[in-house]
Amino acid sequence: MSSYTGVSGFGWRIHQVLLIRLLGIMILFSICRVLFYLFNQSFFPEVGLALAPRLFLGGIRFDLVAVLYTNILYVFLTLIPFTFKYRPLFQRFLDYLFIITNSIALLANCADFIYYRFTIKRSTWSVLQEFSHENNMHKLFGGFLVHYWYVALIWVWLVVLVVYLTRRWQVGPKPLRPAWQVFLIHSVVMTVAVFLFIGGVKGGFRHSTRPITLSNAGEYVNKPKEMFIVLNTPFCIFKTLKRSDYQRADYFRSEAEMNAIYSPIHVPGPDLPAFRPKNVVILIWESFGKEMVGTYNRELENGTYKGYTPFVDSLMRHSKVYWHSFANGAKSIEAIPSVLTGIPGIMEPFVLTRYTDNKLPSLPGMLQSKGYHTSFFHGAPNGSMGFKAFTNLIGIRDYFGKNEYNNDADYDGIWGIWDEEFMQFWSKKLDTFQQPFMSTLFTVSSHDPFQIPERYKGRFPKGPLPIYETMGYTDNALRRFFDSVKNKPWFNNTLFVITADHAATFAHYPQYQTSVGNFSIPILFYAPGDASMTGTDSTKLVQQIDIMPSVLGYLHYDKPYFGFGKNVFGNPPINFAVNYDGVYQWFNGPYVLQFDGRKTVGLYKYQEDKLLKNNLAGRIPEVQGPMELQVKAFIQQYSNRMLDDRLTVTP
């Protein structure tokens, strides 16, 4: 009897090979988790020897689900109770299937060694949708391989181990038993295996066990962001693959009860002054975190820190600045809906959900009804990140991208036209628009791999991270833009808003590596013709979704409208900000509440406790109770209005 046929010639070795190969992939997933942590250790400063075993052991549960999903076809074809599965050609096909599918899964894990720094969460299905808009993917991917060659080598090494595992453990010849006996026994084995498989991907065998999902990682962590150590990227992709609907929330029995706590409907007061048709110019700066700005960080480096944006520092002295200011998302594609429609991305970027076909609020649309010309500028190849499609969807009249610039001599070779040249192009175009106008520009240069034009090499401080030099470059480009427009006849009749798409989450200083610091961005309101629009407010919070209602409030817009944010120039009923970092983060004044949809998992006095060391959850009910009601009201308003297509005000 051949040693490959197993006991009684029933061909048990095929099941041994299956189990050993899957176990080998589980080990490789665990190696990826260790590497993910080592590459991103600065994001998890409180993960020490006491907590690490719990996180890594908890991760095995999620690895099992991901490995089973990844290998579902391989497992099925291995278990079918027919003897043709022993044929050499069929086994060769299974070998290639095993190698290819697991190599792709390991590639997803490896990509997040680096990509996590840009999104501060594991990649989901939406990432693939996001990059589907790019028509220069070969350059982006090639640039990634060159810049992060060591990650590519790690992936190649992991693939070599998969190939070795496949060649080391082979099935062998067909069993000696009659085919009907093999069919009968293997049918029983397959039935048992299917039962175990279902329990494995579900996360348990009890009838009451709900399928394991991303939030289950919260069982193993002290802080929500540590969930991303427990999770793995293929699991996150599989679990968001078919997610198209928000779950209807029912925290409140009536809409009136909910609206009394939080409502996204804005109604102008009866004594509102006449509408003033000022121009509105918005700059959304790629990866522009507060860490780069010296004015926000006077205490750093024993008071000697100057930052990397001297022009912004000078502009802040003539602007209305709210000291505590936040992004509502961590991706570029989340910024435009937040800024221009007042809709934040919750759990997934709004533009990648099916709810973009809802009737949407729109700052450009509302201003167009007042006779404004509207435009959007983005120096990337047209169609990049789906910006052109979305700006068209919300009614922006003219889009200007790399095509309209029409001079590849100023192309950086990867992302788009250099910021300085494109801002000068913007300046000239603004002169051609009839007033009043609203125009938005999204910068591109402060993006990985963080290059600047050759003529500026050595001019700007480099700092400890490569992004800092590009921030100095774009700051200088902004200075040149203002130099070119400050004497224009429309300049003093304009409200400028300067903000970021998201913070540069790969921060250097510890206070910017927390779940609060990861979302801290500048938001400046600069109105050169209005002396009242100056000063710093350290009490009110401002966020990206506040820009639309604040601009409308400043212009004295006189119609009811919908927006999840608040008018910071008025007297908002709740001094709040919100974002999603694996859990809901609800800011109210000096506190931030972290809420997982069912319970509070964290409460911090973040303005004093900048490293979020002191969790106050359960200790100050007079603060926690009202904040829980507020975040529940927000969740219910957000989810149910998305589902019911109620994102506008019905006349």
Binding residues for substrate: 447
Question: How many beta carbons lie within 10 A of that of residue 300, not counting itself?
Answer: 16
Catalytic residue list contains 338: no
CA gap 394, 209 in Å, rounded? 42
User: How many C-alpha atoms does 504 have within 13 Å on its Cβ side?
Assistant: 23
CA distance 192 to 77: 15
Q: Is 400 helix (H, G, I), strand (E, B) or coil?
A: strand
Q: H or E segment at 442?
A: strand 437-442
Of 332, 338, 446, 639, the active-site residue reads 332
Give φ, ψ of 584 to 5 degrees. -70, 135
What CA–CA distance (Å, rounded) separates 282 from 441?
6
Task: Map residue 451 onto helix, strand or coil.
Answer: coil
Cα→Cα distances 50→139, 401, 410, Å: 43, 51, 52
Count the neighbouring beta carbons within 10 Å of the beta carbon of residue 569.
18
Q: Decide: helix, strand or coil at residue 339.
A: helix
- Distance (Å, whole) CA 74 – CA 31: 22
Q: Token pair for residue 281?
A: 């110019």
Q: Pairing between strand 494-500 and 279-285?
A: parallel
Alpha helices in 433-546 (DSSP H): 467-485
| Spatial CA neighbour of 582 closest among 118, 136, 236 | 236
Binding positions: 286, 447, 501-502
Q: In whole angstroms, what is the distance from residue 108 CA to residue 20 CA?
A: 22
Please state, in angstroms and rounded to a whole number, the distance separating the CA atoms of residues 187 and 182.
Answer: 8
The answer to whether residues 521 and 577 touch, using CB atoms and an 8 Å cutoff, is no
Taking the C-alpha atoms of residue 81 and residue 12, their distance in angstroms, rounded to an integer, is: 12
397 exposure class (CB count in 10 Å sphere: 0-12, 13-18, 19+):
middle
HSE-up (13 A, CA, CB side) for residue 650:
3
Among 51, 427, 435, which Cα is nearest to 226's? 51
Residue 583 φ/ψ region, left for φ over 0, alpha for ψ in the -120 to 50 degree band, beta for the rest = beta
Q: Compute the C-alpha angle 349/355/356, nearest 5°.
A: 80
Which of the residues are catalytic?
Answer: 332
